[in-house]
C-alpha cells in the first residue's frame, strides 16, 4: 500500500537507509538527519520531512526546512506526488534546490509552482575524488576554538558580499562552530589577522560539502583560498570520503580554481526562488 506520511522522531534510521543509496545526491538531507534527527529547534537545515512509502518502505523524501527551502530525494511520479502533497499540507516553499533536470520536471509537472518562479540561480555541482586531488600547498591551519570569532566575521563578510545580507548572528556562529568542531574549517592569517577561510558546510560518513570559501578583498590572488581548500579537502579525502560543492555556472574563475584542485563536473544545479502566489 502506498501513501504519504510526515516522519516523526524514531524514523531516522529508516529515512537514512533510503538516503544512503545515493550519498552524493542526498548529501544535505543525510547531514541534517544525522546531525539533528527529526527534531526542530529552528535551525536553518531543520524542518519537516514528508515521505512517500510503498509496502512499508520509503521510496521518496521531501524536506521543507526552516529557510522555506524544499530538498527532495525522489524522482518522477514520487517526486511530483511529494511536491503536490507538501503544497497541499504545508503551503508553497520560498525556494527549491536540486539538479536542473529534477527541478525543471517539478516546475512543469506540479500545478502551482512554475507560475510563481521569481528567480533561477544557475549553479554547477562538482565532485572531488581522492584519485583526482591536486593539492596546492600554502600556509593555512585548521581552525580551533580560539578562531571561532574570526570564522564568524569572515562568514558574515562573505554573505554580505554575495547576498547583500547575512543570517542572524546565532545562526552563523552555530554553523561555524559545527565546522570547527568537525575539524573541517581552515583559516589563513596574515600578520595576525584572519584573511581567508574555507569550511565543510556539511559532513557525512561518505561525502562532505565544501563551502564558505572566502578571502578578504585586499588579500586575494595570493593563493590563500587554495591553501584553505586544500587543507579541508585533504582532511576529508584522507578519511575515504568524496567532496561535493556548488558554484555559479557563470563564475569561470571559480570553476577554473576548483578544477585545478581536481574537482569534476557532476550536473547542472538550480536554486529556485518563488515570489508571491
Domain membership flag for residue 171: yes
* Three cell numbers, residue 238: 584522507
DSSP letter at 94 equals: S
pLDDT at position 1 is 64
Q: Are residues 116 and 161 in the same domain?
A: no
Q: How many domains does the chain have?
A: 2
Residue 237 neighbours by CB under 8 Å, 6+ apart = 128, 129, 130, 133, 243
DSSP classification of residue 116: G
Maximum alpha-carbon separation in the chain: 65
Could you list the mean pLDDT of each consecutive 10-residue stretch along the chain, which spans 277 residues?
Answer: 90 97 97 93 91 94 96 96 96 96 95 90 97 94 96 96 89 92 94 95 97 94 95 96 96 95 98 85
What is the pTM (predicted TM-score) of this model? 0.93
One domain for residues 51 and 26: yes
Is residue 91 assigned to a domain?
yes
Joined together, the cell numbers standing for residue 201 give 558546510
CATH number, position 219:
3.40.630.30
- pLDDT at residue 150, rounded to an integer: 96
Residue linked to cell 576548483: 258
Q: What is the pLDDT of residue 22?
A: 97
Q: Which domain holds residue 85?
A: 2-123
pLDDT at 277: 56
Within-domain flag for 229: yes
Residue 42 pLDDT: 86
| Residues sharing a CB contact under 8 Å with residue 256, sequence separation 6 or more, in sequence order | none
Amino acid at each position: 500500500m502506498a501513501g504519504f506520511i510526515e516522519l516523526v522522531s524514531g524514523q531516522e534510521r529508516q529515512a537514512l537507509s533510503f538516503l544512503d543509496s545515493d550519498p552524493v545526491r542526498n548529501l544535505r538531507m543525510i547531514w541534517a538527519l544525522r546531525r539533528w534527527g527529526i527534531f526542530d529547534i529552528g535551525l536553518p537545515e531543520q524542518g519537516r520531512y514528508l515521505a512517500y512509502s510503498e509496502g512499508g518502505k520509503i521510496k521518496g523524501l521531501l524536506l521543507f526546512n526552516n529557510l522555506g527551502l524544499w530538498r527532495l530525494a525522489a524522482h518522477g511520479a514520487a517526486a511530483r506526488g511529494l511536491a503536490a502533497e507538501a503544497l497541499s499540507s504545508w503551503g508553497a516553499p520560498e525556494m527549491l534546490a536540486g539538479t536542473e533536470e529534477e527541478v525543471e520536471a517539478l516546475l512543469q509537472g506540479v500545478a502551482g509552482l512554475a507560475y510563481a518562479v521569481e528567480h533561477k540561480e544557475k549553479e554547477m555541482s562538482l565532485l572531488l575524488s581522492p584519485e583526482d586531488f591536486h593539492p596546492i600547498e600554502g600556509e593555512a591551519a585548521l581552525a580551533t576554538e580560539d578562531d571561532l570569532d574570526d570564522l564568524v566575521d569572515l562568514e558574515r563578510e562573505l554573505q554580505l558580499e554575495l547576498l547583500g545580507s547575512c543570517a542572524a548572528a546565532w545562526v552563523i556562529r552555530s554553523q561555524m562552530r559545527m565546522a570547527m568542531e568537525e575539524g573541517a574549517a581552515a583559516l589563513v592569517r596574515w600578520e595576525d589577522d584572519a584573511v581567508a577561510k574555507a569550511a565543510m558546510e556539511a559532513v557525512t560518513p561518505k561525502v562532505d560539502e565544501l563551502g564558505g570559501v572566502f578571502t578578504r578583498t585586499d588579500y586575494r590572488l595570493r593563493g590563500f583560498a587554495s591553501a584553505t581548500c586544500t587543507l579541508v579537502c585533504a582532511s576529508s579525502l584522507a578519511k575515504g570520503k568524496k567532496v561535493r560543492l556548488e558554484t555559479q555556472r557563470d563564475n569561470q574563475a571559480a570553476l577554473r580554481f576548483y578544477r585545478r584542485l581536481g574537482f569534476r563536473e557532476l550536473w547542472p544545479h538550480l536554486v529556485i526562488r518563488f515570489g508571491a502566489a
